[in-house]
């Protein structure tokens, strides 16, 4: 009689991956499955860094406070959960193995994909702790010594970063955003929210160049090309160029037939990957139609964990996910914030800044996530 444990493998230890993993081991520990199921979390970094807080880390040293290792994630559940450092390079569908870059193979009976997306600086730190600390130290040093800072990409992250820099350094820095749309953020967000973001940046004296592309191919300047109208291209000075427009889904190791044209994993509302068996995808990496925000983990975590557990038991996934709250909170430095919530009948309403500051706190909820990691 075989005594080999069934294996759950979670790839990605960010907000969604780590939250789902700890939810799963805590559920397993309460059942008869404790002695027959093992969970492995594969994560490429030594330390977890709460990505929404990295924009604050670009201007203030919170490295030790906001970056935490994974050594306490499975405290009390060490017989169930294990963290393996490594980057996934491929998935062997038939053999049910995740292949790491070093060639190691980790077998799964149930697979959870939670690799998220890669964003521009300062939200793309290296994988080793020493390099991560040096990465943020270097960004802060470059901001400190630069007078003219140009941010290419005025999405939510770009707007937040520009505001963090101006809120911290004031008139000593000229901060310019070059953005391809007519307002900050993307078109998926309500226009009244985007206008409020623009208003806050004007209050902070951020220079905004809309409907344009930026190219930093030459040292010391950025070439600006306008998308529409008859405005001529121009160059603007830049001691430091930060690209916040670089975003791609971390799905290069995932079989192409599981992906849509944008590199997101195709799922049903149970988080199961379409046309697969015992494979799930959560967080930014999946194609569920909703705003991709860390806050969605609150409602996604229990449903995804329950369905994964059903798969382990050989049962049908019965829990169906729907976005419970369509809303977002955005900090724009320490003094400003805004947000939006979608209400029945009334539609999208902009939230006062003091509410967002109260909800997110001075640490932008980084310390709350640290508690999930055991700190």
Q: How far apart are CA 220 and CA 130, in angstroms?
A: 29
Res. 325 pLDDT band, cuts 50 70 90: confident
Pairing label, strands 37-43, 6-11: parallel
Mean pLDDT (the chain, rounded) = 95
User: What pLDDT digit, counting tens, does each position of 158-180 carry?
Assistant: 999 999 999 999 999 999 999 99
Q: Sketch the domain layout of the chain as residue ranges.
A: 6-121+247-312, 129-246+326-372
Q: What per-residue confidence (pLDDT) applies to 150?
A: 97
Q: What is the pLDDT of residue 63?
A: 94
**pLDDT given for residue 247 in this prediction:** 80
Structural element, H or E, at residue 194 = helix 191-203
- With CA atoms as reference, report the closest residue to 300 among 275, 324, 279, 277: 324
Handedness of CA 49, 53, 59, 61 (dihedral sign): negative
- Decide whether 6-121+247-312 matches 129-246+326-372 in CATH topology: yes
Assign 1 a pLDDT band (cuts: 50, 70, 90). Answer: very low
The DSSP bridge pattern shows strands 336-343 and 221-226 to be unpaired
Fold (topology level) of 6-121+247-312? FAD/NAD(P)-binding domain (3.50.50)
Coil, strand or helix at 73: coil
The CATH superfamily assigned to 129-246+326-372 is FAD/NAD(P)-binding domain (3.50.50.60)
**DSSP per-residue codes, 320-357:** ----S--EEEEEETTTEEEEEEEETTTEEEEEPHHHHH
For the segment 191-236, what is each residue's pLDDT rounded down to a tens digit?
Answer: 999 999 999 999 999 999 999 999 976 668 999 999 987 888 999 9
Task: Give me the pLDDT at residue 217, please.
Answer: 66
């Amino acid at each position: 009689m075989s005594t080999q444990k069934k294996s759950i493998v979670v790839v990605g230890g960010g907000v969604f991956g780590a939250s789902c993993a700890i939810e799963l081991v805590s559920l397993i520990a309460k059942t008869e499955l404790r002695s027959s199921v093992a969970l492995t979390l594969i994560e490429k970094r030594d330390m977890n860094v709460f990505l929404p807080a990295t924009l604050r880390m670009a201007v203030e040293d919170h490295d030790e406070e906001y970056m935490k290792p994974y050594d306490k994630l499975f405290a009390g559940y060490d017989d169930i959960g294990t963290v393996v450092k490594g980057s996934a390079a491929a998935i062997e569908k038939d053999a049910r193995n995740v292949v790491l870059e070093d060639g190691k193979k980790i077998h799964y009976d149930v697979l959870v994909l939670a690799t998220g997306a890669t964003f521009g600086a300062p939200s793309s730190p290296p994988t080793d702790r020493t390099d991560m600390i040096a990465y943020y130290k270097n960004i802060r040093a470059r901001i400190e010594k630069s007078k003219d800072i140009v941010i290419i990409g005025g999405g939510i992250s770009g707007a937040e970063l520009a505001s963090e820099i101006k809120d911290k350094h004031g008139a000593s820095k000229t901060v310019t955003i070059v953005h391809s749309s007519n307002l900050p953020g993307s078109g998926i967000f309500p226009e009244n929210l985007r206008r409020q973001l623009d208003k806050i940046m004007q209050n902070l004296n951020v220079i905004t160049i809309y409907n344009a592309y930026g190219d930093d191919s030459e040292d010391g300047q950025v070439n600006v090309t306008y998308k529409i109208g008859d405005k001529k291209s121009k160059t603007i000075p830049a001691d430091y160029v930060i690209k916040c427009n670089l975003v791609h889904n971390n799905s290069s190791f995932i079989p192409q037939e599981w992906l849509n044209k944008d590199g997101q994993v195709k799922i049903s509302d149970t988080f199961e990957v379409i046309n697969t068996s015992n494979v799930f995808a959560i967080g930014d990496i999946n194609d569920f139609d909703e705003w991709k925000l860390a806050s969605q983990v609150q409602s996604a975590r229990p449903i995804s964990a329950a369905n994964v557990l059903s798969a382990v038991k050989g049962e049908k996934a019965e829990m169906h996910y729907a976005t419970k709250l369509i809303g977002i909170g955005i900090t724009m430095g320490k003094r400003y914030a805004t947000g939006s919530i979608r209400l029945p009948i009334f539609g999208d309403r902009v939230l006062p800044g003091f509410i967002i500051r109260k909800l997110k706190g001075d640490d932008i909820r980084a310390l709350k996530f640290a508690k999930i990691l055991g700190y």
